[in-house]
A = this chain, B = another copy of it.
Amino acid sequence: PERLSIKHELYATIEPAITPEAIVATSASGLTLSEMQAGWKDPSRFVLGHPFNPPHLIPLVEVMGNERTGHGVIEIVERFYANAGKVTIRVNREVPGHVANRLQAAVWREAIHLVKTGVASVEDVDKAMWAGPGLRWAAMGPTMLFHLGAGEGGLAAFCERYTDSFNRWWDDLGVLHLEPELAKQLVSGIAKAADGQTPADLSAHRDGLITAMLKAIAPLRAN
């Protein structure tokens, strides 16, 4: 579990047993690298390598070192993941959730807000995602997509045209905490959406969809 005392104990056992060249990467998303470094005599080869669920399919690994990280260590880690067919990004500063979990948290907050305020059902908010922006985001990230949204004028034209809309939407987005009542509303919405399928059935369906998409786009990504 993501408890610092357990991690520090573990590192005290690991460190004497590994060769000096070994690099150790942690996948913890709830603890910071600097907190965990305190468990090491020499933290110069202890870094963040955070995959994304389901890790057997999703290519992303978030990589981070800091001022205590040894020279060239991050580059070795990036080559290691690239050789394993992963796609890495560089996290330059310690923040809760790194990058991908924060994007995900931002989306889920608004998804919940829309359900909570009666704008749409759990099932329809989810459907809006997979039939809508989700498909685009599997191709490209949000800023590049907006760069393409304004044609030849690119992102500069897009920002000029839509600044007022985004500022208005941002001011109107929901702010909330996940309370037990809200969790119940979501659980009941998901029960309806699942329509009798077990999490295992649905996970297999998810993995099938992701695998099919990954295979289909692999030749296009390689170009």
Contacts and interface: CB of A to CB of B under 8 A. Distances in A.
Contacts of A163: 178, 183
Given A105-B173, A111-B142, A140-B206, A159 B187 contact: yes
Interface in A26-45: 29-30
Nearest to A189: B143
A140 B206 CA distance: 7
Interface string A111-155: 110110111111011111111111111111111111111111011
Nearest to A219: B212
Contact of A107 (B107, B159, B183, B205): B107
A99 to B, nearest CB: 4
Given A103-B111, A133-B100, A120 B159 contact: no
A23 interface: no
A70 interface: no
Given A199-B151, A200-B152, A99 B126 contact: no
B92 A173 contact: no
Interface size class of A (residues with CB under 8 A): 35 or more
A173 B140 contact: no
Interface string A181-223: 0010011011001100011101101101110111111001000
Interface stretch (A5-13, A14-22, A53-61): A53-61
Given A58-B131, A101-B169, A144-B202, A138 B187 contact: no
Q: Which 8 A-B pairs have the closest CB atoms?
A: A126-B141, A134-B137, A60-B132, A216-B216, A138-B138, A139-B209, A87-B131, A159-B183
Given A95-B117, A170-B175, A212-B213, 5 more contacts: A99-B120, A102-B172, A107-B142, A136-B206, A163-B178
Interface of A: 29-30, 52-53, 57-60, 62, 87, 89-93, 95-112, 114-115, 117-122, 124-152, 154-156, 159-160, 163, 165-170, 172-173, 175-178, 183, 186-187, 189-190, 193-194, 198-200, 202-203, 205-206, 208-210, 212-217, 220
